Structure 1
Amino acid sequence: MNEREDILRLHELHTGVLDIQSELSVSDRKDLGKAYTPGVAILSKLIANHPELKNRYTMSGKLVALITDGTAVLGLGNIGPAGGLPVIEGKALLYKDLAGINAIPLSVAQVPVDDFVSTVKNISGSFAGIHLEDIAAPRCFEIEQKLSDELNIPVYHDDQEGTAIVVLAGLINAAKVAGKSLNSLKVVINGVGASGLATAKLLFEAGIKNLTLVDKFGVVTAHDNRYNAYQTDMAAKLNVTADLKDKQLTDVIANQDAFIGLSDANLMTTADVNKMADSPIIFALANPDPEIDPEDAKKAGAKIIATGSSQYPNQVNNILVFPGLFRGLLAAGINHVGYELQTVVANALAGMITKPTAEKIIPGVFDKGVVDTVSAALIKYASEQEQNPELV
């Protein structure tokens, strides 16, 4: 049996990878009366008068909704809501196994943004948090912003915040290994979709101001109508000069300290690496094939290399973030995943590597303590912010 057949057999055997387990045993009339009728009437009356108590007495206080429309599944593109279900079902499994978090996968039809937002808003009372997944840019930006503004529970887009956090964590230690100040780094980001734009925003908020954004038409500038408003607004914030319009990666890579690829395979050459500043940092994160082969990058002089693959050292993977993040959010009662909070998580992950080296700038996916470190950092953050209810 080949691997494909083995995977299909496994998932068919269990009809997926998730199940629902009861918290209470119902073995006699007394149990039934407490767990269901007539006992639930007591809960229903109480919650009807005090809706906020639903989080104390029902599963809504510990359940995360994992939601996709399948418009931008990593490595597969727009494969539709049904095609996106295996991804979010797998992440729900990781939530449970790694962090003890209950998450349910939900697919939504590819409807207009406002219809998507209304759908999620209308069912949000059943959940303690919303995890968005595999939603294409630019609609993902508007969906997340509207939901964050309208809901009083945390809303998180893994392709945005998850990627940004883990990239910043790796870059913090990569700068140390390269002997450079984090805030002084000159960084080029290749691929300015959901992940690339969110990463640029977080790096900027963390103090890295010298950023160059490159996408399919070249450098993103403030008045290029080929790019969406979210991309051009970021270019304006970075004061990108108009003369860089249409300049390609190879035109702007000279003297850059770091390359962050969130794009496609084989878009970077060894000649590009040679043009970079001393001790180049290469994050070639495209999957399944990176922007440059790690071995080629190393031969060309790269000091630190990270990829999205488990085949090489320094795997930059969102699994380092989301299980511990939501455990911490729910435990601390945090309702907004802002830049300050994201930076706290990135620093916590980076801090797990006490003596970073070129081969180890970030924890491994299966390293012990990742979930506990992330959740503890958020609980501490919330405690420190008690005097300010507006957690940012």
Structure 2
Amino acid sequence: MIAGFTLSSLFIGLSDGAYGNIITMFTRNRIGHIQVHREGYLDKPSLYETIDDYPSVGETIQSTTGVEAWTPRVYAAGLGSVGEKSTAVQVIGVDVARETQATRFDQKMIEGSVLAETASHEAVIGKGLAKILSGTVGSEIVIFSQGADGSIANDVYKIIGIAESGDDGTDRVACYLHIEDAQELFVLEGRIHEIVVIVSNINHVSKITDTIKTRLNNSTLDVAPWQVVAKSFYRAMKVDQQGDAIARWVIMLIVAIGVLNTVLMSVLERTREYGVLKAVGTKPTQIFWLVICEVVIIAIGSIAVGALLGVLANYLLSIYGITYPEEITYGGMKIKTLYAEVNARCLIIPAITVMLSATIVSLFPAIKAARIMPAKAMRTH
């Protein structure tokens, strides 16, 4: 029972830690916890579906309880060229100060420096895009596209940094500009496409989303939590978690079989003693409850020791983690080290599992002990 509790606790801790880390990477570093767009933008992104007067919208969002930060973005597709090499790029206009506060934009830099907080005709490109274009810090990237007024949008920007977001797909196309440079290039004049919202507690995303909707009270704006913004990722994660639930049931079955074997052997080895108890007048129901209480007491002791070992193991793994020989990819993100998480689930679920399985599987041995015939049992050696 101790081994089963510890194994179950460790499994849950690693599972929750892995998903928590993945969700944090996916939301905090990329898409945010909540996003605000023009109505219909998520279904069909368009250069023309913009949010007007976004500073006032941002102020309303910032004053909402539970919101930690917000940042505006401009998105547009174009053609990027460095020297004689060209490829499709996704231009992302960012408010550098707000983006750094919300999604730690400055920590994504692997070479060079982050964009200046004022528009300076500078660009930061993704690691993959730098490889495709053979772009380096100090070289220039020319961007060709179409402006919102139908004009040809083209300009030259100095590459001052190379970034790595953790998503290879994004890094192969991403070209970050200061939001004012992007607005000037695409003739958006103070308009944006997206507001990313970061909350202080990810478990309150749904509640905060509803509050923001109510406070904005604007039917032309869509306010969506990350589960809606990244539907495919969220569904894939849920399917994966169902697989983990099956694994937990297997662990529970192993624990139950071990308990059944131990209790049954305990009853069989004490057949003579139970026969003596019956012979001196002990009622079958008393013997039945004697076995049940014995198992429950053992289960409680096992839970106490297992909880100590489980918390200790999860705590150590939350600090040091398990490092894979090679990076694995999940939802487009690279993961090198798997960390555990210490939470209530690591104790509650294994405790219920051990107690229920121990109680249920002890019924058969208890009934067997209660039905022992005294004369036959006392002849047992």
TM-score by length of 2: 0.26
Higher strand share: 2
Higher helix share: 2
TM-score by length of 1: 0.26
- Rg larger for: 2
Instruction: Report 1 or 2 for greater relative contact order, CA contacts < 8 Å, sequence distance ≥ 6.
Output: 2
